[in-house]
Amino acid sequence: MEESSANSPVDEPSRQGLSFDLDVDICVIGGGLAGLTVALESARRGASVVVLDGRSIGWNASSHNLGTVMPGYGVAVSDLIERVGFEDARELWNLAQEGAEYVRATAAPMPGITLTEGALEVSKVDTGDELISRLQTLGEDFGATIEGWQTDRVREVLKTDRYFHAIHFPKAFQIDARTYVRGLAALAESAGVRIFEDTPVVGIDPAGIRKRLFTPSAKLRSTHVVLAGNAHLGAPSHRLTATLLPTWRYAALTEPLGDRLAEVIAFQGSVMDTHGIDHFRVVQGDRLLWCSPETTWQGDPRRYAKRIQNRIAAIFPKLGPVTVAESWSGMFGQTVHGMPQIGEVQPGLWVLSGFGRQGLNTTAMGGQLLARSIFAGDDRWRLFSPFELVWAGGAAGRVAGQAMDIWSRGHSAAAGALSRFRERARDRELAREYAREARIASAKAQASIARQHASAAMHDDRRGPGA
């Protein structure tokens, strides 16, 4: 999400729609982060590449995120191990880490990109044992650079009783996602990629070595086709679109908050909770960029700005009232299994989709992986084979998804409230215990003094009068 003005016009080159026939090595459908990455890496390997987008480059989810880049996927590593086994899970993790490193190396030289370091995954419940287990798996078994933070340390930088333990990812970082999308497009064009906007693909004939694609004004022939669209992909692959649950996530940027923000939030990286409810970070020194509510239908972002204000007030009451300067939303596609969909569905037809909740690192990883698969025979895309195309349930799935989100938020709130209640109960019990110990100590001290007085009196009596 653009830190300065999320909805303002973007100063970038206007690209024409495709109006003539083309014959290329690779056609990428979808000009988001994943599509641009596979296009760039393919062109660097000498291929002729075209990118087609029905609207404009990065118009949707790729430009509407908080720009947090960290290792891993949108599912817990324990679930990943249970699904594919330890060795494959570790290999998948390594690929995700490579994706994060790719984004850092690619974004750092881009004009207008400033990297801020660190990400903190905070727990809303007091589960120290679970934290230790995750630290062991990620740090010792998977080689991730992480730190475990106890509750006191978390509350030193986040002045709230809503958070307990945390995992700190010191090598995670944040970028302005919209600037990164524009930079990727510029790099791709410099490498020879031709990008056409306002060019929807209305049909694909995937038969044969050379695939045929149809747009309203032109036809293409391509050896490889990469479906890199979101839930709005539509005509090119209804089967792919049906596997993605469209979800809108809403965000807001506050007005400048001055010094009071630093007094309450001293952590400069991204903060997200383990339940996936809130995700926020400080931008421009004294403004708060906050992402929270979700719906499976498109809503008015202005309506949800108040809800974000209420979230901020509930979690950081010491911050005082905040005013929202801007609010907006972006739609992403969630998969049923929670992992991205990457691979070859038939010879020459590739899928690169389902990056909702996955993070920017996975879009880079997927783009790199497919380029290597096409040109160097890298078959590690098969690691994603267990996460195949699964129907998301259509309209009923959207209703169920919204119900699940409401339940999840309610469960998270209840679990957090219970943890805070138990913490206060422990504090009261400790206070009572300290008070009891103080009373006992005082009584013992008074008894000791009384014995000393009694002993002195007895000693005086033994000495007798006039002694």
Give the model confidence (pLDDT) of 412-447 as tens digits: 444 445 444 444 555 565 566 656 666 676 767 777
Distance CA(52)–CA(57), nearest Å, equals 9
Same domain, 185 and 204: yes
Q: Is residue 129 part of a domain?
A: no
Same domain, 237 and 358: yes
| Residue numbers of the chain with a pLDDT score lower than 70 | 1-13, 231-239, 389-439, 441, 443, 450, 453-454, 456-467
Task: Say what the pLDDT of residue 287 is.
Answer: 96
Tell which of 359, 377, 392 closes a domain: 392
Q: Per DSSP, what are the bridge partners of residue 252?
A: 290, 327
Task: Say what the pLDDT of residue 183 is.
Answer: 96
For residue 384, give its domain range. Answer: 1-67+176-243+336-392
Same domain, 374 and 417: no
Q: Is residue 102 part of a domain?
A: no
Q: Is residue 409 part of a domain?
A: yes
Q: Which residue has the tokens 């596609």?
A: 333
Same domain, 403 and 456: yes
Closest by CA position to 36, among listed 69, 72, 61: 61
Which pLDDT tens digit goes with each residue over 349-403? 999 988 888 889 999 999 999 999 999 999 999 999 988 765 455 554 444 444 4
Q: How big is the CA angle at 110 (ends 108 and 116), to the nearest 5 degrees?
A: 40
Q: Is residue 101 part of a domain?
A: no
Confidence (pTM): 0.81
Same domain, 457 and 343: no
Quote the number of domains for the chain: 2
Same domain, 344 and 403: no
Tell which of 373, 392, 411 closes a domain: 392
Same domain, 233 and 340: yes
Q: Is residue 91 part of a domain?
A: no
Distance CA(50)–CA(43), nearest Å, equals 9
Tell which of 363, 392, 421 closes a domain: 392
Closest by CA position to 370, among listed 16, 24, 39, 18: 39
Same domain, 383 and 402: no
Q: Is residue 253 part of a domain?
A: no
Same domain, 3 and 63: yes
Same domain, 237 and 343: yes
Q: Is residue 373 part of a domain?
A: yes
Task: Say what the pLDDT of residue 415 is.
Answer: 47
Q: Is residue 414 part of a domain?
A: yes
Same domain, 185 and 230: yes
Task: Say what the pLDDT of residue 409 is.
Answer: 45
Same domain, 383 and 404: no
Q: Beta-carbon neighbour count of residue 147 at 10 Å?
A: 14
Task: Say what the pLDDT of residue 411 is.
Answer: 42
Task: Name the residue type at position 404.
Answer: M
CATH, residue 17: 3.50.50.60
